[in-house]
Amino acid sequence: MSVPADRMSPEERRAGASLAAIFALRMLGLFLILPVFSVYAKTLPGGDNLAMVGLALGAYGLTQAVFQIPYGIASDVFGRKRVIVIGLLIFALGSFVAAWAPSMNWIIVGRVLQGAGAISAAVTALAADLTREEHRTKVMAMIGSSIGLVFALSLVGSPILYGWIGMHGLFILTGVLALAGIVTLLKAVPPAP
């Protein structure tokens, strides 16, 4: 049975929802860190240096920007899902390094690793692969909405979670959410053409 061109197919809806969930899981972990990191940084050796704190926050974005294009090219060559899994594993490793970090220097190493798991290009390329041209903007809107939603949730939830599990727990949660993204990718995202 063919789906009319003006309606998304069930597979396109599933692809959009599952890819949005992967983005949401990854971004939730990142966004949970931001509201409380400066409070936590003061407790670490090197945390009184504002330049180091700024570098720890910005290191993710810097390495994310550097690795987007190489990951996109790699996803063309080696397959989207494989590159997304590798990126999420690197991101999770960075999260666990940051959770363990005894100093601001190690937090920066963890944040650099998190940024090196730059999967955005590969995920959006997979979204394009799994949807017809007339529905790509809808899927991209689903992904964008998930990011906005988790940002709002993190602003409310971050101080509460920080009080319960501390920054170490937040970084561990970030790594676990990245691993949950891998499960979502392998179980829920339709196979790429």
Three-state secondary-structure class, residue 173: helix
Q: Which of 65, 36, 31, 12 is nearest to 146 (CA)?
A: 31
- pLDDT tens digits for range 102-155: 999 999 999 999 999 989 999 999 999 999 999 999 999 999 999 999 999 999
Is residue 3 very low, low, confident or very high in pLDDT (cuts 50, 70, 90)? low
Q: Give whole-number Cα distances, 31 to 96, 108, 153, in Å.
A: 16, 16, 9
Mean pLDDT of all residues in 42-69: 92
Contact of 193 with 70, CB cutoff 8 Å: no
The two tokens of residue 79 are: 């397959």
pTM to 2 decimals? 0.92
pLDDT for the residue 21: 94
Contact of 104 with 52, CB cutoff 8 Å: yes
Burial of 140 (0-12, 13-18, 19+ CB in 10 A): middle
pLDDT for the residue 2: 65
- pLDDT tens digits for range 86-114: 999 999 999 999 999 999 999 999 999 99
pLDDT(1) > 60:
no
In this structure, what DSSP letter does residue 7 have? S
